[in-house]
Amino acid sequence: MQQTENLNIESFDAMPTPEEVHARVPLTETAAQTVVAGRRTLERILDRQDGRVFVVVGPCSIHDPVAGIDYARRLKALADEVADTLVLVMRVYFEKPRTSTGWKGYVNDPRMDDSFHIEEGMQKAREFLLQVNEIGLPAATEALDPIAPQYLGDLVSWTAIGARTSESQTHREMASGLSTPVGFKNGTDGSVDTAVNAIISAASPHNFLGINMQGRSAVVRTRGNRYGHVVLRGGGDRPNYDTVSVSMAEQALAKAKLPQNVVVDCSHANSYKKPELQPLVMQDVVNQIRLGNRSIVGLMIESFIEAGNQPIPADLSKLKYGCSVTDACVDWATTEKMIRDAREALRGPLTGRVKS
């Protein structure tokens, strides 16, 4: 009989189960407290029980855990400093969607040499998330692979669904079962309707194929996630953080009878992928809040120790410490100034944002 399946499969390599990876890198009490506190704080902000603004800030992607933890320690100190006004959540992205080809992230290729030791990357990613949470800093990530949350989800406080995947049924179903608030980015063409429809879908129960903690195929049955919200990241070669665009997003949410919760991504199309424009975007959005906007509950910043980005060299010893290998970032000094300036501008105006 002729073979009719797996014609383009080279091999099936064994992957440790989520249960096995959890056993190797177990959740600690300190980390669990950070995760739960982070999630509850974000939920309270989305429910208008906490008037502060949250800021998801960190590298475009994690590639060097040493530099990443260095950054996390700096961010924790800054988070404590501005905690009366802003809630800082570290951006910890391990999976990178690519338009065509390129490095797919720390989980997929942790050695950055096209060896694709995913089993190694998944464990190292969990180790990194555990360290960040033990520092006392809640973590945010993008959910790209629908299996990854079983390995890492217990260490995440906020999840993004990217512009390329907000329209995906698979990712909407996955989001319906996640334990975190979920930010759905508008489409790459700038369409907010994509994110609004995703929020509606993820709020409903779903039944779909996945894996359980033992790594076996399972029918996953979810309750629905009521903490979905829109992330404006620009699109169609134009920004959408201005007052008109924010108002249109508010109207789209109101029409769908959804809470008017909006997060603005200062990077991506909102800054034309030019990191030096991120402070200007943030300044504009902070001013909208200062002047009375109630729907903007959060911001996102791509930031690392050094500014810009770098190609991945054949000799990894040539990598510049603390510099992104994916999208360009603002440096640490700029990050501190952006966040301190935002805190100073918002200290008074945030008092009226809590529902009475």
CATH classification of the domain holding 242: 3.20.20.70
Between 171 and 98, where is the model more confident? 171
Q: Is residue 341 part of a domain?
A: yes
Mean pLDDT score of the chain, rounded to an integer? 96
pLDDT band at 349 (very low <50, low <70, confident <90, very high): confident
User: For tokens 């999840």, what's the residue?
Assistant: 159
State both tokens at 30.
């300190």
Phi first, then psi, for residue 161 (nearest 5°) are -110, 120
Q: Is residue 356 part of a domain?
A: no
pLDDT at 348 over 90: no
* Domain extent at residue 133: 18-43+54-349
The pTM for the full model equals 0.97
Q: Is residue 354 part of a domain?
A: no
pLDDT at 356 over 80: no
Q: What is the pLDDT of residue 352?
A: 82
Q: What is the pLDDT of residue 204?
A: 98
Mean pLDDT over residues 264-281, rounded? 97
Alpha-carbon distance 175 to 208, whole Å? 12
DSSP assignment of 293-338? --SEEEEEEEB-SSSBB-PPPSSGGGPPTT-BSSS-BB-HHHHHHH
The secondary structure element, H or E, covering residue 88 is: strand 86-91
Q: Is residue 196 part of a domain?
A: yes
Q: What is the pLDDT of residue 96?
A: 77
Q: Is residue 168 part of a domain?
A: yes
pLDDT band at 249 (very low <50, low <70, confident <90, very high): very high
What confidence tens digit (pLDDT) does each residue in 208-247 have?
A: 999 999 999 999 999 999 999 999 999 998 999 999 999 9
DSSP assignment of 229-254? EEEE--BTTB---SHHHHHHHHHHHH
Q: Is residue 13 part of a domain?
A: no
Q: What is the pLDDT of residue 99?
A: 60
Between 162 and 349, where is the model more confident? 162
| Counted domains in the chain | 1
Q: What is the pLDDT of residue 127?
A: 98
Strand partners, 53: 86
Q: What is the pLDDT of residue 100?
A: 58
- Bridge-based pairing state of the strands 53-58 and 158-161: unpaired
Q: What is the pLDDT of residue 347?
A: 92
Residue 299's nearest CA partner among 333, 335, 326 is 335
Q: Is residue 232 part of a domain?
A: yes
Is residue 37 helix, strand or coil? helix
* Four-point Cα dihedral 97, 176, 262, 297, nearest 10: -110
Q: Is residue 8 part of a domain?
A: no
